């Protein structure tokens, strides 16, 4: 599935390059000040470029939930693997003269480790193209400010992530109805300027789950077993 997403991204990138009015960033589109700027694509990192299945598996074995401390420790190990298709897409974008920017909610503390991890897959990551999160310095988790930093100098051709908040604002809402309305309102960009990869493990949708997800899950399992699944 991820290879399909990246193949589509590569196809769309060529279309974007030939259309000077094309931008994937909704703020940039609104402001309309991107004509003639050099081209860039923005990719999220976790579960978009880097595969952290091992961290999640470890948490399951240890019966621990996600927390920032264990997450940072995992990032510092530099052991994430690569999402299939990501390295080829990045290589193709670079060959087309497109600047590749990474906007990640990994924190500043693990920036160097993250760069090292990316380099293991031949990705030219450095201090300038990896934009980590630091709430105190105005680089918040919603990623809007960091997309704005890229938009200042570049025309953003594609936004690639595994979470709707990787590509647009107004989706960090713990309300399924509002989230769906937002997604539907922007449906034209999905699969054209915005590429979303599947993430089977987590996402901001979790906050919109029922208040007692364990109870909901139990009911679902009972339903499934009564259906003989």
Regarding 55 and contact with Mg ion (CB under 5 A), the answer is no
Q: Which of 2, 12, 23, 47 binds Mg ion (CB under 5 A)?
A: 47
**Closest distance between Mg ion and the C-beta of residue 197, in Å?**
8
Helix (H, G, I), strand (E, B) or coil at 70: helix
CA dist 175 and 14 (Å) reads: 36
Q: Which of residues 139-168 bind Mg ion (CB under 5 A)?
A: 162
CA dist 142 and 75 (Å) reads: 20
The answer to whether the beta carbons of residues 79 and 120 sit under 8 Å apart is no
Regarding 131 and contact with Mg ion (CB under 5 A), the answer is no
CA dist 153 and 151 (Å) reads: 5
Nearer to Mg ion, 26 or 162 (CB): 162
Nearer to Mg ion, 98 or 160 (CB): 160
Regarding 203 and contact with Mg ion (CB under 5 A), the answer is no
Regarding 26 and contact with Mg ion (CB under 5 A), the answer is no
Regarding 44 and contact with Mg ion (CB under 5 A), the answer is yes
Regarding 46 and contact with Mg ion (CB under 5 A), the answer is yes
Q: To 10 degrees, the CA torsion angle through 153, 155, 157, 160?
A: 30
Six-digit token pair at 196?
Answer: 């979303």
The answer to whether the beta carbons of residues 2 and 85 sit under 8 Å apart is yes
**Closest distance between Mg ion and the C-beta of residue 114, in Å?**
13
Residues in contact with Mg ion by CB under 5 A are 44, 46-48, 162
């Amino acid at each position: 599935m991820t290879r399909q997403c990246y193949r589509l991204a590569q196809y769309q990138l060529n279309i974007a390059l030939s259309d000077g009015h094309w931008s994937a960033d909704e703020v940039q589109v609104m402001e309309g000040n991107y004509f003639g700027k050099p081209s860039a694509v923005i990719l999220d990192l976790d579960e978009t470029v880097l595969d952290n299945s091992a961290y999640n598996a470890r948490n399951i074995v240890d019966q621990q939930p996600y927390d920032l401390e264990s997450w940072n420790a995992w990032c510092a190990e530099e052991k994430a693997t690569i999402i299939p298709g990501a390295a080829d897409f990045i290589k193709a974008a670079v060959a087309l003269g497109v600047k590749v920017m990474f906007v990640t909610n990994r924190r500043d503390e693990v920036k160097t480790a993250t760069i090292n991890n990316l380099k293991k897959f031949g990705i030219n990551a450095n201090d300038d193209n990896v934009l980590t999160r630091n709430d105190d310095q105005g680089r918040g988790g919603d990623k809007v400010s960091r997309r704005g930093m890229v938009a200042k100098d570049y025309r953003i051709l594609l936004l690639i992530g595994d979470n709707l908040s990787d590509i647009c604002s107004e989706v960090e809402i713990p309300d399924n109805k509002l989230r769906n309305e937002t997604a539907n309102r922007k449906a034209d960009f999905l699969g054209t300027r915005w590429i979303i990869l599947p993430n089977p493990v987590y996402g901001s949708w979790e906050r919109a789950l029922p208040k007692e997800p364990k109870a909901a899950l139990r009911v679902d399992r009972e339903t499934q077993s009564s259906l003989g699944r």
